[in-house]
Amino acid sequence: MKKFTSLLFLLLSVVIATYPFAWMFLSSFKTNDEIYQPTLFLPADYKWDAFISLFNASYLPFLRIFSNSLVLSFGQAFLATLISAGAGFCLAKYKFLGRGLVLFLAIFLVLIPKQTLAVPTFDWISWLGWRGSLFSLLLPGAVSGIGVLFFLQVFRRFPQEWIDLARIEGMSPFRTYISLLPLVLPGLMTFFFLHFVLSFQEHLLPLLLLDDENMTLPLALATLKDSSHRIPESVGMAAATLSLVPILIMFSLVFGKMKTALREVILS
């Protein structure tokens, strides 16, 4: 009886969690009148007009905008993972001048809201002459205070004797860091995935720094909400559904590989 109750509660939780996404996907086939009836779950007819209009760029260049978001999110996630892991390793295993300042700045970035840094970031990027291009978001997105603190705790778990042994063997700090990376592969993939998702959904900085040609997906979804109803609501639902595809693929790939990596580490 207890097992049946737990299974029933789990199924109910899955239904509640997936219902909004299922309603969003099915609404991409509905008319405006059907969408304005929230209790109507299934559409009267299944036509792919909304998806076809997106790929045909009937209302906006969706494929270019989609690729902009992918390139920007992958670039930010890769750079943030690379820089944060290196900084966390140095803070965890080495003492150097300015170590306390670096740690303070990492904590400072976590505590200060991103909205507070939006205007200084805008002025800095404008001074560099990068405003409008995707490159204007790569550098701000590559710095992550949470990432530095995350990898600081990850590398603190490694025995100091490993670092001392590497030093005795004549290995440089960089080579020691590279040799330890396979052991923190689950952490690297986890942080990469989380940063990718946050970057993919970022709205404030792209709104300030990018021009219309380099628009990202969150901004495009906002433009599809037309008060004059010139653009069917189903188009916005279709675009929102497609925006979930990279996240679902990343989730399945990253956590599948992370599970394999954890099993290999445990068995070794």
Residue 81's pLDDT is what? 92
Q: What is the residue extent of each domain of the chain?
A: 71-267
d(CA 7, CA 12): 9
Please tell me the pTM assigned to this model.
0.82
Of the chain, the percentage scoring pLDDT greater than 90 comes to: 3
Q: Coil, strand or helix: which one is 192?
A: helix
Residue 116's pLDDT is what? 84
- In which region does residue 94 sit, left (phi positive, over 0), alpha (psi from -120 to 50) or beta (all else)? beta
Instruction: Read off the amino acid at residue 193.
Output: F
pLDDT in tens, 87-117: 888 888 888 788 888 888 888 888 888 888 8
CATH superfamily of 71-267: MetI-like (1.10.3720.10)
Residue 80's pLDDT is what? 92
Selection from 161, 253, 144, 133 nearest residue 198 by Cα: 144
pLDDT in tens, 158-192: 887 777 777 877 777 788 888 888 888 888 888 99
The owner of tokens 């599970």 is: 259
Cβ proximity of 90 and 150 under 8 Å: no
Q: Which residues of the chain have pLDDT under 70?
A: 1, 226-229, 254-268
Residue 79's pLDDT is what? 92
Residue 260's pLDDT is what? 62
Residue 173's pLDDT is what? 79
Two structure tokens written together for 260: 């394999």
Q: Coil, strand or helix: which one is 69?
A: helix
Residue 268's pLDDT is what? 53
d(CA 237, CA 241): 6
